[in-house]
């Protein structure tokens, strides 16, 4: 099985930005958010079960998930969230494994926003790479990117692992408070290390 890195970080930390830099080295990126989106698009693999479990009201006229309605429904209702995840998580896993078996290259990267929160993902990857920045930076980025209020961003952050919990789970850390730590050299350094680790794992 191809050597796998799990890339994670809090909302707005810069996971996509960092993943794009690894992709410039020819590394396959498997983005669980993009897969979650595709299985809930029109005709997506999760849609029949979502319609059965939650009803037509959660399906938009084009057949996609009504994301705003579902977000509201699960945000404070853990049981509803668990029902949704019981549908989506196995499909996401299957799709990730399919993408992983198709992936070319010396190692691959799974982008998993809630990796630290999920025991299964931690077991699936050889190393955990955390994209780190201060909470102030996260809040500022997400307010400006999504037009959210500070309270909205903080409510989302409160449902994710804390910065300290993520750092405790990290094998590697990228500092993305970018003013003092440009990303590209950090990615280049890690890429070189991952090539070595992957070659060693291959040789075993």
Q: How many other CB atoms are found less than 10 A from the CB of residue 180?
A: 6
Is 137 labelled as part of a ligand binding site?
no
Give the Cβ contact number of residue 120 at 10 Å: 10
- Checking 154-161 for CB contacts under 8 A at 24+ apart, the result is 156/11, 157/10, 157/11, 160/10, 160/11, 160/113, 160/114, 160/117, 161/10, 161/114, 161/116, 161/117
Establish if 139 lies at the interface with ligand ATP (CB under 6 A): no
Does residue 13 belong to the site contacting ligand ATP (CB under 6 A)? yes
**Does the protein bind ligand ATP through residue 166 (CB under 6 A)?**
no
Is 105 annotated in a binding site? The answer is no
Q: For residue 84, state whether it binds ligand ATP (rule: CB under 6 A).
A: no
43: left (phi over 0), alpha (psi -120 to 50) or beta: left
Angstrom distance (rounded) from CA 109 to CA 100: 9
Between 145 and 189, CB nearer to ligand ATP: 145
Q: Which of 11, 115, 130, 190 binds ligand ATP (CB under 6 A)?
A: 11
Residue 145 engages ligand ATP in binding (rule: CB under 6 A): yes
Q: Which stretch binds ligand ATP (CB under 6 A): 43-51, 120-128, 147-155, 176-184?
A: 176-184
Encoded one letter per residue, x for contact with ligand ATP by CB under 6 A and - for no contact, window 90-129 reads -----------------------x----------------
One-character DSSP codes across 50-76: HHHHH-GGGB-TTSSB-HHHHHHHHHS
CB of 19 to ligand ATP, least distance (A): 8
Task: Say which DSSP state 105 is in.
Answer: S
Closest CB to ligand ATP among 83 and 89?
89
Q: Note whether 30 binds ligand ATP by CB under 6 A.
A: no
Piece in contact with ligand ATP (CB under 6 A), picked from 14-22, 99-107, 118-126, 160-168: 14-22
Nearer to ligand ATP, 15 or 124 (CB): 15
The DSSP 8-state label assigned to residue 4 in this structure reads: E
Q: How many CB atoms lie within 10 A of CB 186?
A: 19
Summarize as ranges the residues that interact with ligand ATP (CB under 6 A): 9, 11-17, 113, 141, 145, 176, 178, 183
């Amino acid at each position: 099985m191809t050597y796998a890195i799990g890339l994670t970080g809090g909302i707005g930390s810069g996971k996509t930005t960092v993943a794009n830099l690894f992709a410039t080295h020819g590394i396959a990126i498997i983005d669980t958010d993009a897969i979650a989106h595709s299985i809930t698009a029109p005709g997506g693999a999760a849609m029949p079960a979502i319609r059965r479990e939650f009803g037509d009201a959660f399906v938009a006229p084009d057949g996609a998930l009504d994301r705003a309605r579902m977000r509201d429904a699960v945000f404070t209702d853990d049981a509803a969230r668990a029902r949704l995840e019981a549908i989506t998580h196995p499909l996401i896993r299957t799709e990730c494994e399919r993408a992983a078996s198709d992936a070319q290259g010396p190692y691959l990267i799974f982008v998993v926003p809630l990796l630290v929160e999920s025991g299964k993902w931690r077991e699936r990857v050889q190393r955990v790479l955390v994209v780190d920045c201060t909470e102030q930076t996260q809040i500022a980025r997400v307010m400006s990117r999504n037009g959210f209020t500070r309270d909205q961003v903080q409510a989302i952050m409160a449902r994710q692992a804390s910065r300290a919990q993520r750092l405790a789970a990290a094998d590697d850390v990228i500092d993305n408070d970018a003013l003092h730590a440009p990303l590209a050299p950090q990615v280049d350094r890690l890429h070189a290390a991952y090539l070595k680790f992957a070659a060693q794992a291959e040789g075993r």
